[in-house]
Amino acid sequence: MSDHVWLAVALTALGTFLIRLLPLLWMQRRLARRQGENGVEALPPWLSILGPMMIAAMLGVSLIPASPSATTWLATLVGVIVTLLVWRQLRSLGWPVLGGVASYTAVILLARLFV
């Protein structure tokens, strides 16, 4: 790898870190100026909405299977349903994820047996 590529790695690493860091410093100063307020109240309203929306957008992108086919889409649908059902029962973080992955795997394996 040439020196130029190392420079590109260094600039990308520094730039990525600053993209994550600088908004924190801005927000901490804003919160410090509004010390009397509750943290959530000092948060600009658009920001408290945008957080969950970013998660939703990432969910939308991550739902697309790596190799899309009827089977993997069906597995995704079953995985989503099972994840939500397990969450409804247990209201925990790990078990619904495990249930979703297990059901996704089961559909893929069943499809291999019967299709």
Partner 1 sequence: MTLSTTSPHNRGWLLGLRDAIPLLSGYIPVAISFGLIAIQSGFTPLQAVLISLLVYAGASQFMFVGLAATGAPLWLVVSMSLLINLRHLVYAPGLAPSLNNSRWWPWMMHGLTDQIFALALNRLPQLEPGQRLSWYSSAAMLAWGSWVVGTAVGALTGDWLMSRWPLVGQVTPFALPALFLVLLAPYATNPRWAISLSLAILTALMMALYGLSNIGIPLAAICGALCFQLIKPRRPQHV
Distances (CA, A) of 66 to 63, 69, 73, 76, 101: 9, 9, 10, 11, 14
Alpha helices in the chain (DSSP H): 3-33, 39-42, 45-62, 70-90, 94-114
Residue in the block written with tokens 């996704």 = 104
Site for partner 1 in 57-96 (CB under 8 A): 57-64, 66-67, 72, 75-76, 79-80, 83-84, 87-88, 93-94, 96
Contact between 25 and partner 1 per CB under 8 A:
yes
Q: Exactly one of 35, 73, 89, 98 binds partner 1 (CB under 8 A); which one?
A: 98
Site size toward partner 1 (CB under 8 A) is 70
Dihedral sign for Cα atoms in the order 78, 82, 85, 91: negative
In the complex, which residues of this chain contact partner 1 (CB under 8 A)? 1, 4-5, 7-13, 15-17, 19-21, 23-28, 31, 38-40, 42-44, 46-64, 66-67, 72, 75-76, 79-80, 83-84, 87-88, 93-94, 96-98, 100-101, 104-105, 108-109
